[in-house]
Homo-oligomer: A and B are copies of this chain.
């Protein structure tokens, strides 16, 4: 019967790992999500919450009974609280903090001294550490006791707890017990600072060939390590932010967020777009007299704006990626500008001619062909310039070009396109 069925389904769900349960909870509408959440065994709830995106997570947090929290927080660790804290009301953060032991409280306080776009916020504190004068025998003893996940190195520190060097565990296995570890250290391991930007630091971890990199403070004191799992999560989030930003959303957007919340989130972006659309319309309005006399201009108008918008967004996307990966710098902006202008010039000429010819045959009017041809060429070249400058300038102003670049760019190409087309139309056709 149906109760048995539900039980069987629930068992099947619960048998999966935390990420799978989190993904499932994100994939169902709010009602079944909440009922699944009620039925989830209490000891799984915290781990599942940690794996979820903020928006769907907050719905579950709001629906959790007040009395339940101290049980949920009974085994919480600093890293979990750091992941959850932005989704929790302050009183729950305080409650969870009180459940941490002294050591974990220190880790938590240390981490919150860094912003969440800094490496220091995302550290792992399970470390294998030995003094600088330790021998292979000490290393082996340490390894036999307990090796944390994603840990393939032992860190050596001096007497002031300052980071000194790294030894790969695998080099220890093959060496005689009396050899000092300093003879086995890695020469070229990157060392991260707590204040380093988290995406770039994470890329360094992924590339390093190590399971984690050491992280130090300004005085070279060892703070912890950034392991490859955290690094990969940070990079995945970075990319998701980019993908979602192109549509004015953030990476925490919930597939099934409540309608009011979702509508509110998106309304801002629609409003900003509306302002730019009105601006474009206002420019079109300047040419009312022309439009009245040459209605073909009204018919062809969207083509000019659209070709500029597409050409510009191609340049923009390339530059935004380059900025994010550190490949676009002051040193090559000029050369990039020249190259994009040439690409824009080539495509501008080709498409301007094609569109001009089509427009001529459509309206059997040479001048209309000439006007749209010039306007397209002009707009595609303008799009190339804006496609380079808009993101570079936004980046300099510390505004995320992935988010605001496209709306600014489209405003430029719309206005340039309409004004060029209708202006030339006024000159040639009236």
A residues neighboring B (CB under 8 Å): 17, 19, 23, 26-29, 140, 143-147, 149-150, 152, 169-170, 173-174, 188, 206-207, 209, 211, 228-229, 231-233, 235-236, 239-240, 242-244, 246-249, 253, 255-256, 259-260, 262-263, 266-267, 269-271, 273-274, 276-278, 280-281, 284-285, 288, 291-292, 295, 298-303, 305-307, 310-311, 313-314, 316-318, 321-322, 325-329, 332, 335-336, 339, 342-343, 346-347, 350-351, 354-355, 358, 414, 418
Contacts and interface: CB of A to CB of B under 8 A. Distances in A.
B170 A255 contact: no
Given A260-B346, A281-B299, A298-B301, A17 B321 contact: no
Contacts of A253: 318
Given A311-B270, A321-B240, A229 B255 contact: no
Contacts of A325: 23
Contact of A150 (B211, B256, B284): B211
Given A229-B206, A318-B249, A255 B295 contact: no
How many copies the complex holds: the figure is 2
27 contacts: A23-B325, A23-B327, A27-B322, A27-B328, A29-B339, A152-B211, A206-B229, A209-B229, A235-B235, A235-B236, A247-B313, A247-B316, A249-B314, A255-B327, A255-B328, A255-B332, A259-B342, A263-B346, A267-B351, A276-B306, A277-B303, A280-B302, A284-B302, A292-B292, A292-B295, A302-B414, A302-B418
Given A26-B327, A173-B144, A269 B314 contact: yes
Given A266-B343, A318-B253, A332-B27, A170 B188 contact: no
Nearest to A280: B302
A297 to B, nearest CB: 8
A266 B314 contact: yes
B317 A249 contact: yes
Contacts of A332: 27-29, 255
A288 B281 contact: no
A323 to B, nearest CB: 11
A115 to B, nearest CB: 23
A429 to B, nearest CB: 14
A240 B239 contact: yes
Contacts of A243: 239, 242-243, 246, 317, 321
B303 A335 contact: no
A239 B235 CA distance: 10
A19 B190 CA distance: 13
A313 B266 CA distance: 11
B295 A288 contact: yes
List the 5 closest A-B pairs by CB distance, nearest first: A239-B239, A298-B298, A247-B317, A263-B346, A147-B170
A226 B321 CA distance: 27
Contact of A351 (B169, B274, B306, B342): B274
Contact of A269 (B235, B267, B292, B310): B310
A421 to B, nearest CB: 12
Contact of A335 (B246, B256, B281, B328): B256
Nearest to A202: B232
Given A150-B211, A255-B322, A339-B29, A228 B232 contact: yes
A242 B306 CA distance: 21
A28 B311 CA distance: 22
B307 A274 contact: yes
